Amino acid sequence: MTSDQIEKLTALMEGSELHFAEPMDKHTTFRIGGEAEAFVRVQSIEELSDLRAFCSREEIPFLFLGKGSNVLVSDKGISGVVATFGERMCDITMKDEMIIAEAGATLSAVASYALQKGLTGLEFAAGIPGSVGGAIRMNAGAYGGDMSQVVGWVRVLEPDGNIKTILGAHMEFGYRTSILKELPYIVLACGIQLMKGDENAIRQTMLELAAKRREKQPLEYPSAGSTFKRPEGFFAGKLIEEAGLRGRKIGGAMVSEKHCGFIINEDNATAKDVQDLIELVRKTVYEQFGVLLEPEVIFVGD
């Protein structure tokens, strides 16, 4: 950004949280990433819309992130503006048996809200990190459930500032994907359709799933969850284990010993360490089993 653009951006975002040269390791669950040229926490739709229009006018790259739990940010950082939602975009309410959640809310907060209200259908999501917006973009899921099963509608902001509502059925949800992979829309809110259930049973299921996660996943290390998508007919973790890669390290990145499907930041890993390890895993698994693993983690930055 030029000094003139920095001045204009500062004026535009007056009163909001704006940082220049912001280290992205602070904003990703991998705890990895170089600096974002500018990092903004937007507190309203209007602010987001103005910011995006400014970036488009000035030809400044713009990237929207949720909680950074499914991304690997380059060591070189991110040019332009990175935006995320602030605490005033995290509202959760309900109408009948539908929860209406703003996109900045965490998925786990929405799941807790559902439990509190005795609504069933979102138990699978209680332990998935990240925001509602990220969960919709990724069609996040676990233990047989995913967002496609419960999302009734999604409100999005189009690049021209227009707001529209898309029915869940039109979101083109697939395995860890949605229409948002192709379209530059930002999720603002969504309606999650649940059903009346038994509060004790909901709590019990959530506790059981949380215990399973703690037992199976290396939650004690920074990561972005499962590094690879599940290849059809196989399990990524099992293939990686059978390829003899358990505990394999490059720099500070390591194939988790607890769950081979996770690459963890074991010791101050760089994005390059993780990327090199991802490539090594893909190559080895392909050579041994003829299965090409596709990363689930999204690479962002320069």
* All residues at 6 or more sequence positions from 155 whose CB lies less than 8 Å from its CB, including other chains: 163, 164, 165, 166, 187, 188, 189, 190
**Sole binder of ligand FAD in the list 38, 71, 111, 281 (CB under 6 A):** 71
Nearest distance, CB of residue 237 and ligand FAD, angstroms: 13
Site stretch for ligand FAD (CB under 6 A), options 2-10, 204-212, 215-223, 287-295? 215-223
Beta strands in the chain (DSSP E): 17-23, 35-42, 62-64, 71-73, 78-85, 92-95, 98-102, 119-120, 141-142, 145-146, 151-157, 163-167, 186-193, 195-196, 249-250, 253-255, 263-265, 298-300
Answer for which of 99, 111, 128, 150 binds ligand FAD (CB under 6 A) is 128
Q: Tell which one of 18, 45, 52, 64 touches ligand FAD (CB under 6 A).
A: 64
Using the contact rule CB under 6 A, the part of the chain among 39-47, 50-58, 126-134, 238-246 near ligand FAD is: 126-134
Which residue in 290, 285, 283 sits closest to 260, CA to CA? 285
Q: Does the annotation count 296 as an active-site position?
A: yes
> Per CB under 6 A, does 100 bind ligand FAD?
no
Nearer of residues 177 and 284 to ligand FAD, judged by Cβ: 177
For ligand FAD, the closer CB: 134 or 197: 134
Are the beta carbons of 277 and 267 closer than 8 angstroms?
A: no
- Cα(250)–Cα(256) distance, rounded to whole angstroms? 12
Asked whether position 281 contacts ligand FAD by CB under 6 A, the answer is no
Rounded (5°) CA angle 112-115-121: 100
Count of Cβ atoms closer than 10 Å to residue 179 Cβ: 17
Alpha helices in the chain (DSSP H): 3-12, 45-58, 107-116, 132-138, 199-216, 236-242, 271-289
Active-site entry in 41, 176, 248, 282:
176
Residue choice 51, 82, 135, 194 for contact with ligand FAD (CB under 6 A): 135
- Which member of 38, 55, 103, 260 binds ligand FAD (CB under 6 A)? 103
Nearest 5°: the CA angle 43, 46, 48 is 65
Which is the catalytic residue, given 178, 223, 226, 256? 226
Residue 187 binding ligand FAD, by CB under 6 A: yes
| Residue 4 beta carbon to ligand FAD: minimum distance, rounded to whole angstroms | 27
Among 225, 237, 295, 301, the residue binding ligand FAD under the rule CB under 6 A is: 225
Kindly tell me which of 50 and 199 has the beta carbon lying closer to ligand FAD: 50
Report whether 13 contacts 30 (CB < 8 A).
no
Residues that bind ligand FAD (CB under 6 A): 29, 64-71, 103, 128-131, 133-135, 137-138, 140-142, 180, 186-187, 217, 219, 223-225, 298
Q: Which residues are catalytic?
A: 176, 226, 296
